[in-house]
Amino acid sequence: MTDDKFRDPQGGGSLILAWQATNKTVLIVGGGAVAAGRAFNALEADARVVIAAPDINDELQYRVDKGQVSWRPRKFEDADLDGADMVLTAISDAEESRRIVNACRNLRIPVNAADINDLCDFWFMSTHRDHSVQIAVSTNSKAPRLANRIRRQVAAALPRGTGLAVEQIGRLRKRIREADPKPENSKRRMTWLMQLCDYWPIEQLANLDSDNIDSLLEAYVRNDDPQTVAIALDSTSVGSSSGVPSPVLHGQLVSDTGILAHPLNGKRGKLTLVGAGLGDPELLTVRAHRALLEADVVLADKLIPEPVLDVIKCEIYTARKFPGAATEAQDDLYRRGLEELAKGRNVVRLKQGDSFVYGRGGEEILFFRKHGYEPEVIPGLTSAINGPGLCGIPVTHRGVADQVLVLSGADRNGALPSIPSYLATRTLVVLMSVKRLAQITQLLSQSGHPPDLPIAIVERAGCSDQRTVRGTLETIVDVVERVGHNAPGLIVAGFAVNVLSDMAIQDRYLDPSTLGLHSAE
C-alpha cells in the first residue's frame, strides 16, 4: 500500500526518471510543428528518429534532407511499431491516437499522445540542458506554460559554468576509476570526489583543463585532502590577464595580485554592483537601499554624494581617483574587493548613477567573473535621463523630441565625442562634459546645429543644490562664464530643453503649423 500523503490529490502521480535514449528508436507519428518539436528533443538525446506521416513541415523536411531523421511518407501502419523503443503521436485525430496507444501497450512500448493526457505513459517536461546537466520541471501536464516559467527561474539561479563543471568532474571520475579500478576502493573514490564537489566552487571546477585533471588524479593517488590540493587554473578563465596561472593553494584561489579570490572553506563572499542614482538617498531603489544596509563593506566611487553615504552603516572604502590616475584607482578597488570577498564578506560596489551608463559596470562584472564571482546588479537612476527630468526638462516630448542620444564628453583616451549631423527632433545629452563646453558647442556648430538651439547645463541633479543654467548654442559658453559651474554636470541640447519653462514656447512647439524647428538645411 502507498501512504495517502504521497498521493497527488488531483490524480496523475508521476515518477521523474532520465531515460537513456542513445541509439534507441523513437517513432513519431505526425509531421507538423508538435512533431518537429518532439523530433528535436529526441535528437538532442541522441536517439534514432523515424517519422510516419503523409506530409511533413519545412523543419522536418530539412532534417530528412540532412539525414538526421528517417521519413515514411504515409499514414501510420501497425508494422511501424516493429523495432520502436518509444512512440510519440502528434496528430489531431484523437481516435487514431487512441488506437496507436492501444497497439503500443499490447507490445509494451511506452507511448505519449500529444494533448491527450489520459493516454500518456509519460509526459514531456520543461527542460534546461547545459552539457550533461538536465533540469526538468513537471506539472503532471496540468500547467505546461507555468512549468516553463519555473524552469527559467531555476536555470537562472545556477552558477556560471555548471554544465562544464559536470563534464570536467566526469572526466576526472573516469580517470580515477581507470587508475584505481579495484571494487574494494569504491568507497574511497566516492568520498574523495564528494569532497571535491562539495568544497570547490562550481566556477573553478568548470575551468579545469587536462593538466589540472592530471594534477588532481595525482593528488588522489597520493591520497591528498581535496580541500587542500594545490593546482594552477587556466588564467584565461579564472586567473589574471597577465598570462600567469592563478594557483589554488590550501583550498583557496589566489589571484595574480596575491589576493585570495575566494575561500574554498567557510562562507563564500558576495558582491553586489549598486547604482547610487542621482544623489538624493530617497531616489535610491528599495533594493539598493536594502543592499547598502546589509553590506559588510561598501566600495564607493569618489563622487558619491554625502547624503547617500550617510545611509551606509558599515565600513566605506572610497576610490582614490585623481587626474591621470583613474586606472590605478580602479585597480585599487579591484584589489580591495577581492580581499573582502576572500574573507566571505558581503561587498557592495557603489557607483554613481547607473553602473552600465558610462560607469564601467560591465568591465567590473567581467573582472570579478574572471575571478570566480558573478556580481548581482542593482540598477540606479541615470543622470542622462533623470537628471534633466528633475530639472524640468523632458528628454522626449510629443511633437518636439522623439529620440535621445547620450554621449560621453570624452572617451577612455580623452578624445572628444563624435557628434552626428543635426536633427531637430533629437535631444542630445552629453555627460562629463561641462569642462569642455566650448569645444562641445564648437562641435555642435560644425555638425549643423543652429545657433538658437536651446542648451541647458544640469548641475548636481538630485542634490539639494541642483541648478539648471540655460542658454542657446550661441550664448551658453558666455552664460556659464558669468555664473560659474558646480560639478558634476551635464549638457542637454535640443528643443525639449525649454518646452516646460515658457507657455509661449509650449504653444509654439505644440502647434504643428508654427513648429518653427530648424531643418538640417
Would you please indicate which residues are annotated as catalytic (active-site) residues? 115
Q: Strand 346-351 relative to strand 270-275: parallel, antiparallel, unpaired?
A: parallel
Total length of the chain: 521
The count of other CB atoms within 10 Å of the CB of residue 369 is 16
117: CB partners within 8 A, 6+ apart: 12, 123, 141
> Cα–Cα distance between 442 and 431 in angstroms, integer?
16
CA angle 332, 338, 339 (to 5 degrees): 90
Backbone torsion region of residue 484, taken as left when φ is above 0, otherwise alpha when ψ lies between -120 and 50, otherwise beta: left
Cell 587508475, located at residue: 179
430: CB partners within 8 A, 6+ apart: 406, 407, 408, 409, 417, 440, 490, 491, 493
- Give the CB-side neighbour count of residue 85, counting CA atoms within 13 A: 12
> Cα–Cα distance between 199 and 386 in angstroms, integer?
45
22: CB partners within 8 A, 6+ apart: 45, 46, 47
CA 481 to chain centre: 45
Q: What is the 3-state secondary structure (H, E, C) of 54-65?
A: CCCCHHHHHHHH
Cell numbers given for 88: 510519440
Q: Are 134 and 46 in contact (CB under 8 A)?
A: no
The count of other CB atoms within 10 Å of the CB of residue 246 is 25
159: CB partners within 8 A, 6+ apart: 165, 201, 202, 203, 374
Is the backbone peptide bond immediately before 488 cis, with ω within 30 degrees of 0? yes
How far is the CA of 155 from the CAs of 133, 163, 235, 270, 376, in angstroms? 11, 11, 27, 19, 16
The one-letter code for the residue type at 67 is: G
